[in-house]
Amino acid sequence: MFARILVGFDGSASAAHALHVACRLAADGGPGDVVALAVVPASRAETAGDRQRAADATRADLERRYAEALAGVTVTTAQLRLVEGSRAAETIATYAEDHGFDLVVLGRHGNEGTLHPHVGHIAETLVRNERLAILLAAEPR
């Protein structure tokens, strides 16, 4: 049903669950394309070397968490993409629109949103985007 699925990935358990949901959707609908997008904030370190080390550490942590998240998935065509950005919701929306994704899957962690006490601000912002199909993947309790 969905040929291209984008998953907002921040390394959290909620994002790992969203990745699993996206992989199942892609498998159910045939050979779907799943991309986990991690938005890496720019470091505020003083020196260029410190900024690079901070970025490398963040990237390595996200790559490790991504590999851990996929450990339970038997068949997947998922790929991890790391992009730098200061506003995760806007970066995810722009990436999804620019690269022709049919669906954006997000975990719903967080408690800073007003839409629902357990929907984070990034998920809330993206749900309000009228140009994207959004699926909030709630973890089973």
Beta bridge pairs of residue 8: 37
Q: What is the pLDDT of residues 59-113, one digit of tens each?
A: 899 999 999 999 877 666 789 999 988 888 899 999 999 999 999 998 876 434 3
Which range, of 4-8, 67-71, 115-119, 122-126, averages the lowest pLDDT? 115-119
Give the residue from 15, 67, 57 showing the smallest Cα distance to 38: 15
Instruction: Output the CA torsion 21→27→30→34 (10° steps).
Output: 60
- Where along the chain do its domains lie? 4-137
Topology adopted by domain 4-137: Rossmann fold (3.40.50)
pTM value surpassing 0.75:
yes
In this structure, what is the dihedral angle of CA atoms 100, 18, 79, 10, given to the nearest 10 degrees? 100
